[in-house]
Structure 1
Amino acid sequence: MNGDWLLRGRDGRLSVYLPTDDAVLCRAERAPGGTWTPVSKVGGEQKLRPSLAIGQGGDSYAHLVSWRPTTAGESGLVHSTHFRPRLAALDWNPIGHPDKKGPLTGMPAVAVDARGRAHVFVRNGGGGVSMVAQKEKGGWDPWRDLKGRDVQDELAAVTGESGRVELFAAVSGGVLHWRQEEPGAQPVLDEAIEAPVRAGTLYALATSAESTTLFYTDESGDLCAWRPGAKPVALLPSAGPGPVSAVRCELDGYDCTLLAQRSASGRVAFAAYPTEQESAGAWWAESGPSLPSDAGVSLAVDEDDRVVAATSSPSTGRLLLTRRKDEPGLALEAWREV
């Protein structure tokens, strides 16, 4: 998966999206903080490739993108919108291929601008990045080549507090950054830095009115934070091999960024620090049971402004959840299966 898969909907209910070998499944709270629905299939009976990218707009609608098989040896991208967790999502709608046709080229990424338009990014057959965006009154613009080369598979797309869409991509020995210069414009390559980035570890978060922060693990094993226009900062040693999940939340009256990652021991590790103040330092604290190696973690804030963390493992099918307790610090409730 690419993107946050634990989301709070417009009605305050939490939902999760779980890809399988040929479908995307969804579960949702029946009421905020309540019990959860059984698994349901997203987008009808369309068969999918095992891939899923998720983005959410300011209207809280979820935008889902996956690959589907087309002809022998070829695939195409499809998109669905899920307006509310307890409603059925729209059927999968074909949105094409970055090279017009061909095989699967990489994991897509999705960001949703201030007007609710999904922007879908994916590596193309030439090793660069291509994008397709929704029109404001329905339909999709033509595919656009954003250039770049030797782009690694997973991209990190994010919408800043300004409502403008940004994209980060790892390349050999560095990171590329695209951004919209104005709402609705085609993102342009804005900056490139040299950085020894481990593939598959990018995560982007809007951290202020002016900035987004990219988190990644470097080849030495440090978790780094980078805001375009500045230099990357090593925040703390990575807890484990995969990407982090991050969310902004209020902790004891402070605007903080909370990070979560499956640790090398298999448990979920958490670290928090004042947003954009990496110099304050951060430390991991592990929580919950040991999880399988394929388990992922995602973070959200519920309608009571409490942090929620979820883990899901494709090999076991188990969905585990915890919430912050109503007390100072980052004390969490016991993990429970839902």
Structure 2
Amino acid sequence: MSRFAALGLGAVLLFLATCQGPPKPPADEPEPPAPLPPAHHVQIVAHPDDDLLFMNPDLAEGLRSGRQTTGIYLTAGEADVSNKARYGAARQEGTRAAYAEMVRKPNDWVRGTIPVGRGRLAEVDTLREAPHVRLVFLNLPEDANSQHGEHTLTRMRADPSLTVTTTVPAGATVPYPQTFDRGAVVDALTALFDHLQPTVVRLQDDQPDGRYQNVWVGVHNHPDHVAGAALTREALAAHRPSAFSPMVVTYRDYNVADTPAALSDVDKRTTRAAFSAYARHDVFAEGLMYQIWSDNSGYRYPRRGRWAAWGEGGAVQAYAVRAHGLARWTRSADGDWAGPDLLPLPEPLRPQVTLLGGTLVAQSANGARILLLRQGSHPRWEVVDAPAAADPAENGPPAATVDSDGRIVLAVKNSAGGVSIRRQVSPGSARWQPWTELGGTDVQDGLSVVPAEDGVVHVFAATRGKVLRWQVPRAGTAHPEEVPIGSAHPAGPPEAERARDGSIRVLVRTDRGGELVELASTRQGWSPGRTTYPGAGGVGAPTLVTSGPRSGADLIRVARDGAGAVRVADGAGKPWTELGGAVSDHPAVVAEPGGGVTLIALGFDGELLVNRGSPAPGGLAFTGWRPAVVTPTVLAERAD
């Protein structure tokens, strides 16, 4: 019996048994608290190689850590070559080879099938010596396949009645074509989510920056990337998580070639090795562009470490956008954490949130609105229009602060590629001044705003070539000045903070292997010299936070490295201290009144993690990562 047939029904039952969990109790019995789910990463991409090019090094890091990882491929990637079956099979074999390379195991897979609803099957492959690694192939037609009409996923997204026939790669475990319409694709993905119960879902960019990749007319990205991500979001909305609603991480695609690369040299070697293993099977995967893509990586919407803060009554709160709502954790004045509660949302949100004491600042998924959650005895959502734009999706995520007058200030990268700023009319008011255009060109997503005296705020932004600052007075506008970071180019959003000595510090990752550069601005201008920190690796911006008044450090610098662990520098020019852990994206930092800080992060399994740093000779001494909530709570209801 071949290894294809050997899997058969037994492997399908094993796959479902490991993913579906125990049966639920009868409805008349109270349901016990659900255990925390194991960390399970699921990435959904349009083609074999998309995850290798655009989701690394995060992908390789998760695989090597042993976390359950499933790649789902919507199309066969067969293009419009004469022998589509052979080319589609070669690309899938390349994907298997790349995953085996990333976990350093033999390229030996158990191949079988998995039901995906409405009597349809998909191929599922499990790496024999690393069974936490799985690949699922749906084999829908690729955009360039003219056999049944081009632009299949795009047309299917627009026309629910359109029916298409799958491509059958040579040697596929589903050896016959199947028909799908839009509803069947969404149902298939929903069924996979329900089986797998992912804690992290990785997507491609369905809102690509319209300034780049004009070769893709109208979409600025491969059409399959955009349509596939949109269909996946529809399936996520229908997914029923058994415990935690998953985190969703969206990655930029081809336009990473249009911006400076932030990856460290170590991370580049990892991504190149994975793609090289794939490329040996794909006759078209060669040339400089593939190396440029694999040498860079970026989240679509940069998230800052401002999602946890002190609130009313001595409590600390932390918020995170999930697939089905807004998760909230609360630390009481006694130091005990509770949560997460899943709050319903007025509409879908982008992932970046900023917590300003009792007010949460977020942004609608379509970029048209900024939403403020006013906490207190009667929480309420307030809507503020974003800068006017022909396509509001081109508005970047808002940065927010409170000025010395007590008014909330919002700053946004607008659709023209400049910066817009807006303030409340008065503290606590629901009325806002009009948007003021500060100018600027080629501004990238991810701004930082810092308050100063007399109502002044400092706004920082990065272009592809430099970092800019506006010093905006209480009334009126300002002109940008260039922050002297040297000959390096910013490779991520700047992070700015006001130190205890009154200076404004700005920290930015650069294209020199991810090296970070820090500068200080005083009343007399920029301080001479620059402080540099070696590139920690990984993807995302650093966090820069003023420490508590009794701490010996003025500012705490935090970065997530290429292994998903956290590094801290608690003094200017001090080396990184490796704190370990395995966290997703940007850690938040809360300064403690007695000195020291608490680092707050999200684990890949959905838990909130904390790590307390106390003043000690030579710097901060950290206790190590631990779950914030000792007894897990169950999300009481979905935010439908």
**TM tier, shorter chain?**
0.7 to 0.9
In 1, the alpha carbon distance for the partners of 2:333 and 2:355 equals: 22
SS in 2 for 1:316: coil
Deviation of 1:316 (Å)? 3.1
In 2, the alpha carbon distance for the partners of 1:253 and 1:265 equals: 29
Identical counterparts, % of pairs: 25
Q: 1:312 aligns with which of 602, 614, 626?
A: 602
Cα deviation 1:173-196 (Å, max 9, x = unaligned): 111111223xx3244124124643
In 2, the alpha carbon distance for the partners of 1:232 and 1:82 equals: 42
Residue in 2 aligned with 1:234?
531
Change (3 A) 1:209 1:88: farther
**In the alignment, structure 1 residue 324 sits paired with structure 2 residue 613:** yes
Q: 1:165 aligns with which of 454, 457, 470?
A: 457
Residue in 2 aligned with 1:61?
358
In 2, the alpha carbon distance for the partners of 1:210 and 1:139 equals: 30
**In the alignment, structure 1 residue 94 sits paired with structure 2 residue 383:** yes
Matches within 5 A, 1:226-265: 226-228=519-521, 229-230=525-526, 233-241=530-538, 242-249=540-547, 254-265=552-563
Report if aligned partners of 2:389, 2:415 keep a CA contact under 8 Å in 1: no
What amino acid does structure 2 have at the position aligned with 1:5? W
What amino acid does structure 1 have at the position aligned with 2:308? L
The one of the two structures with greater contact order (alpha-carbon pairs below 8 A, sep at least 6) is 2
Cα-Cα RMSD: 2.6
Report if aligned partners of 2:600, 2:610 keep a CA contact under 8 Å in 1: yes
SS in 2 for 1:238: coil
What amino acid does structure 2 have at the position aligned with 1:261? A
Cα deviation 1:127-150 (Å, max 9, x = unaligned): 111122211154111122111111
Residue in 1 aligned with 2:494?
202
SS in 2 for 1:185: coil
**In the alignment, structure 1 residue 49 sits paired with structure 2 residue 349:** yes
Report if aligned partners of 1:122, 1:130 keep a CA contact under 8 Å in 2: yes
Matches within 5 A, 1:165-204: 165-181=457-473, 184-193=474-483, 195=485, 196-204=488-496
Deviation of 1:4 (Å)? 1.0
What amino acid does structure 1 have at the position aligned with 2:607? R
TM-score (normalizing by structure 2): 0.46
- Number of aligned residue pairs: give it: 314
In 1, the alpha carbon distance for the partners of 2:391 and 2:401 equals: 24
Residue in 2 aligned with 1:110?
400
In 2, the alpha carbon distance for the partners of 1:40 and 1:22 equals: 8
Of 108-117 and 201-210, the range deviating more from structure 2: 201-210
Deviation of 1:82 (Å)? 3.8
Unaligned runs of 5+ in 2: 1-302, 629-640
Residue in 1 aligned with 2:410?
120
Residue in 2 aligned with 1:271?
569
In 2, the alpha carbon distance for the partners of 1:301 and 1:208 equals: 12
Report if aligned partners of 2:465, 2:490 keep a CA contact under 8 Å in 1: no
In 1, the alpha carbon distance for the partners of 2:419 and 2:393 equals: 13
Residue in 1 aligned with 2:311?
9
Change (3 A) 1:64 1:96: same
Deviation of 1:81 (Å)? 4.1
Change (3 A) 1:250 1:53: closer
Change (3 A) 1:235 1:307: same
Residue in 2 aligned with 1:301?
591
In 2, the alpha carbon distance for the partners of 1:47 and 1:334 equals: 37
Report if aligned partners of 2:410, 2:423 keep a CA contact under 8 Å in 1: yes
What amino acid does structure 2 have at the position aligned with 1:323? R
Residue in 2 aligned with 1:25?
327
Deviation of 1:333 (Å)? 1.5
Deviation of 1:268 (Å)? 0.8
Residue in 1 aligned with 2:278?
none
What amino acid does structure 2 have at the position aligned with 1:289? G
- Tell which structure's C-alpha radius of gyration is larger: 2
Of 115-124 and 203-212, the range deviating more from structure 2: 203-212
Cα deviation 1:96-151 (Å, max 9, x = unaligned): 13125633221211121122211111111211111222111541111221111110
What amino acid does structure 2 have at the position aligned with 1:224? V
TM-score (normalizing by structure 1): 0.83
Deviation of 1:156 (Å)? 1.1
SS in 2 for 1:50: coil
Unaligned runs of 5+ in 1: 70-74
What amino acid does structure 1 have at the position aligned with 2:456? R
Cα deviation 1:231-260 (Å, max 9, x = unaligned): 561322122342111222259863422111
SS in 2 for 1:38: strand
In 2, the alpha carbon distance for the partners of 1:2 and 1:89 equals: 24
Of 262-271 and 44-53, the range deviating more from structure 2: 44-53
What amino acid does structure 2 have at the position aligned with 1:108? P
Change (3 A) 1:151 1:325: closer
Deviation of 1:26 (Å)? 1.7
Cα deviation 1:9-58 (Å, max 9, x = unaligned): 232211101012464332111334113233241xx5401232334152xx
Deviation of 1:165 (Å)? 1.4
Deviation of 1:265 (Å)? 2.7
- Relative to total residues, which structure has the larger strand share, 1 or 2? 1
Residue in 2 aligned with 1:151?
443
User: What stretches of structure 1 move > 6 A for 4+ residues in a row?
Assistant: none
In 2, the alpha carbon distance for the partners of 1:53 and 1:167 equals: 18
Report if aligned partners of 1:165, 1:187 keep a CA contact under 8 Å in 2: no
